[in-house]
Amino acid sequence: MLLRQFADAMTNRDIDVFASMLHEDFFYIEGTTMETRDEWLQATAEMFESSDHTSSNWDVTARFETKDMGAVEYTTEKNGRKMRVLNAFIYRDGKVYRQLISRVPIE
């Protein structure tokens, strides 16, 4: 389903796959930040080019998916700090329509 496809595209740093799976009205929301489809694709491409970002250092603690939504929770390190991350997706027309991400520092 879309959750696995999204994870594979992240692992493979494949912007073309992301572009094909995002709904034309896609929005990405993190905290008080919101990005359109084009803004998110550009930011993600820049992240792939400028960092050693890899999903291989994610320790997945939960995964859930239905026909209309998906979510994954994992722990990772960001800027030297351990974080618990919730990445939730709403699907529409067989594509990712909304993405909401929350990062919580682990003490």
pLDDT tens per residue, range 23-82: 999 999 999 999 999 999 999 999 888 876 666 677 889 999 999 999 999 998 877 889
* Average pLDDT over every residue of 83-107: 95
Quick one: pLDDT at residue 53?
A: 66
pTM for the full predicted model: 0.88
Quick one: pLDDT at residue 43?
A: 93
Quick one: pLDDT at residue 52?
A: 64
Map residue 21 onto helix, strand or coil.
helix
Quick one: pLDDT at residue 55?
A: 64
**2 contacts 17 by C-beta, under 8 angstroms:** no
Q: Which DSSP string do the residues of 27-77 spell out, in sequence order?
A: EEEETTEEEEHHHHHHHHHHHHHHS---GGG-EEEEEEE-SSEEEEEEEEE
